[in-house]
Amino acid sequence: MGMIIQGVTGDWEVVIGLEVHAQVSSNAKLFSGSATEYGAEQNTQVSFVDAAMPGMLPVINTAAVEQAVKTGLGLKAKINNFSVFDRKNYFYADLPQGYQISQFLQPIVGEGILTIDLKDGVTREIGITRLHLEQDAGKSIHDQHPSMTLVDLNRSGVALMEIVSEPDMRSPEEAAAYVKKLRSILRYLGTCDGNMDEGSMRADVNVSVRRPGDDLGTRCEMKNLNSVRFIQQAIVYEANRQVDILEEGGKIDQETRLYDSVKGETRSMRSKEEAHDYRYFPDPDLLPLQFDDAFVAKIKADLPELPDEKKDRFMNTLGISAYDAGVLVAEKEVADFFEDVAKGRDAKLSVNWVTGEFFGNLKRTGKTIATSPVSADALGEVIDLIKDGTISNRIAKEVFEEMFDTGKSASNIVEEKGLKQVSDTGAIEAAIDDVIAANPDKLAEYRGGKDKLLGFFMGQVMKNTGGKANPGVVNKLLKPKLDG
Amino acid sequence: MSLDKATVAKVANLARIRVEENHLDTLANELNAILGWVEQLSEVDTENVAPMTSVAEMQLRWRADEITDGGYQQEIVANAPSDEDGFFAVPKVIE
């Protein structure tokens, strides 16, 4: 569903395109042999190439090329066996070369498709315009010195993939779904860790508005948004700002704007406008990037199962709903965990336990799948115990909570606490007799036509047996006794 | 193609080269002479000729994804006009 802003003069449609910068997962940088790991001491992961010392020459990292091709394949995109690196010229303190090595006219990856997942299992295809390789810049720190800006070049020269979408999105929700899906695919592929907190993934958001059906309006770009929430907030603010201007007869200036997440507004960045004359030209230090079809085929052969394919398989072979399948495949770790639990077990019951109790207890204890005290096998045992009637679903939930807190196995807890479900008819009949004997007035009411009291007796019997009575057996035995 | 004074001033600014106002005309003439000379190349018919990407008959060299460099913070900042605790220190740039 597109977002429509109802103005005084009529409806406005919002049009969104995204440029996502994703840091390539690699040991070394795009054109040098220095390390890429996050969080190192300042300027310790910098080579003379990254610092742009005179005479240093860039040599491309094989892994960066492979990761870009792999990502292109994951986006069902055209792979260009011939691409060219260009210099994008601008001056900034954290860009020692005075230019960024990027790809302009001939990128390594061309048009592709990304399918986004919306509410109620609805999907939409968003066009990918291109993906190109480029260098990251260094980092400027403005608040640690009273009069100076401090520059750390550890990030300088790290390989980035810039992934550009078509202006195909029509609402903040679609933009959010796009970023989430792209992040998921990158993580499945292992080409980017998708860690937005550490800046491994950041987005430039292009927003324009128009009358439904009209040509595209003039857009504004908001740079460097590093959370899905900020992306959505920035779009809402910016779209409304543009509608207000247009409705008052004004016109939109194409410009770069800064989103201030504290104030929740976008501001013009006029100071940078002049710098937008990038004067691209082919980098004379680098020959064109070329590879043959066999290089691409080899990467293709090693592609993992991606979220869309996994979702289809969960739906078609395991009979899981589109919604549940979507939840399970979004994170690879969750999908893997689920598959371990569901192996040889009831798929539906496994889904309910993974997305219900398991997620609930992770949240309660502040743990993640990686640090969870309960393994997939341990959860599987709980499901087995429910299936073979050893414990009821209700008891299972208690047992599971204790498993999280103590790390013990389900069978141990059941054994220690004597939680084994009672299915023995003799014991259950005795419990029913006790309850009936203790509540003669309620029995009389029931026999007088108050059918609803069946639930009361059921509850009392369960309470009487410490919740261990098999509810199915109680149900079967209780009614005849009440009816006399 | 011909450059006017304003374009020369703009290019100089983008390249961070200070050019005094009274030198702009001379510079424009010189640049136009160079551009005119280069433009002679367009007289050659290059239909069906692939763009030349290098004068050397060679392919781009690739490196393995191995950490082989870095780890010398002091050498990196050694030539900086100003440094601070292993950082480059530059005049404050605040948006």
Domain edges within chain A: 4-299, 305-417, 425-483
Residue B95 confidence (pLDDT): 53
Nearest CA to A301 among A25, A73, A65? Answer: A73
Nearest CA to A293 among A127, A64, A73? Answer: A73
For residue B29, is pLDDT > 60? yes
Q: Are A151 and B88 in contact (CB < 8 Å)?
A: yes
- Look at chain B and report how many structural domains it folds into: 1
Contacts of A42 (CB under 8 A, 6+ apart): A150, A152, A154, B73, B85, B86, B87
Is A147 touching B (CB cutoff 8 A)? Answer: yes
- Residue A291, both tokens: 């590879």
Is B12 touching A (CB cutoff 8 A)? Answer: no
- On whether residue B86 sits in a domain, the answer given is no
Q: Which residues of B touch A259 (CB under 8 A)?
A: none
Helix (H) or strand (E) holding A316: helix A307-318
- On whether residue B24 sits in a domain, the answer given is yes
Residue A280 confidence (pLDDT): 94
B86: closest CA of chain A, how far (Å):
6
Q: Which residues of A touch B7 (CB under 8 A)?
A: none
- On whether residue B25 sits in a domain, the answer given is yes
B24: closest CA of chain A, how far (Å):
20
Q: Which residues of A touch B53 (CB under 8 A)?
A: 84, 282, 287-288
Tell me whether strands A265-268 and A255-260 are parallel, antiparallel or unpaired. Answer: antiparallel
**Any idea how long chain B is?**
95
B28: closest CA of chain A, how far (Å):
19
> Pick from B10, B59, B90: which is nearest to A148 by CB?
B90
Sheet holding A99-102, edge to edge: A99-102, A86-89, A281-282
- On whether residue B82 sits in a domain, the answer given is no
Residue A390 confidence (pLDDT): 84
Q: Which residues of B touch A44 (CB under 8 A)?
A: 70-73, 86
Alpha-carbon separation of residue A368 from A4, A11, A359, A371, A375 (angstroms)? 38, 44, 9, 5, 11
Q: Are B91 and A61 in contact (CB < 8 Å)?
A: no
Nearest CA to B86 among B72, B66, B68, B69? Answer: B72
Is A276 touching B (CB cutoff 8 A)? Answer: no
Between CA A45 and CA A362 the distance in angstroms is 36
| Number of CB pairs, chain A paired with chain B, less than 8 A apart | 133
Is B76 touching A (CB cutoff 8 A)? Answer: yes
- On whether residue B18 sits in a domain, the answer given is yes
Q: What angle do CA A26, A162, A208 make, to 5 degrees?
A: 155
> Pick from B71, B86, B90: which is nearest to A42 by CB?
B86
B88 contacts B78 by C-beta, under 8 angstroms: no
Nearest CA to A263 among A225, A240, A230, A239? Answer: A230
Which sign, positive or negative, has the C-alpha torsion A411, A413, A417, A422? negative
- On whether residue B29 sits in a domain, the answer given is yes
Residue A101 confidence (pLDDT): 98
CATH classification number, A425-483, choose in 3.90.550.10, 3.30.465.10, 3.40.50.300, 1.10.10.410: 1.10.10.410
A97 contacts A52 by C-beta, under 8 angstroms: yes
Q: Are B65 and A28 in contact (CB < 8 Å)?
A: yes
pLDDT in tens, chain A (484 residues): 688 999 888 999 999 999 999 999 999 999 999 999 999 999 999 999 999 999 999 999 999 999 999 999 999 999 999 999 999 998 889 999 999 999 999 999 999 999 999 887 788 999 999 999 999 999 999 989 999 999 999 999 999 999 999 999 999 999 999 999 999 999 999 999 999 988 899 999 999 999 998 999 999 999 999 999 999 999 999 999 999 999 999 999 888 898 988 888 888 876 555 556 889 999 999 999 999 999 999 999 999 999 999 999 999 999 999 889 989 999 999 999 999 999 999 999 999 999 999 999 999 999 999 999 999 999 999 999 888 878 888 888 988 999 999 989 888 888 887 777 777 788 888 888 888 988 989 888 888 888 888 889 888 888 888 778 888 888 888 888 888 7
B4: closest CA of chain A, how far (Å):
18
| Interface probe with B: pick from A148, A153, A267, A277, most Cβ of B within 10 Å | A148
Between CA B80 and CA B72 the distance in angstroms is 14
| Interface probe with B: pick from A42, A154, A258, A273, most Cβ of B within 10 Å | A42
Structural domain range at position B29: 5-42
Site of tokens 């230019």: A99
Q: Are B66 and A28 in contact (CB < 8 Å)?
A: yes
Is B95 touching A (CB cutoff 8 A)? Answer: yes
Residue of B nearest to A279 (CA): B14
> Pick from A48, A271, A287: which is nearest to B60 by CB?
A287
Between CA A22 and CA A37 the distance in angstroms is 15
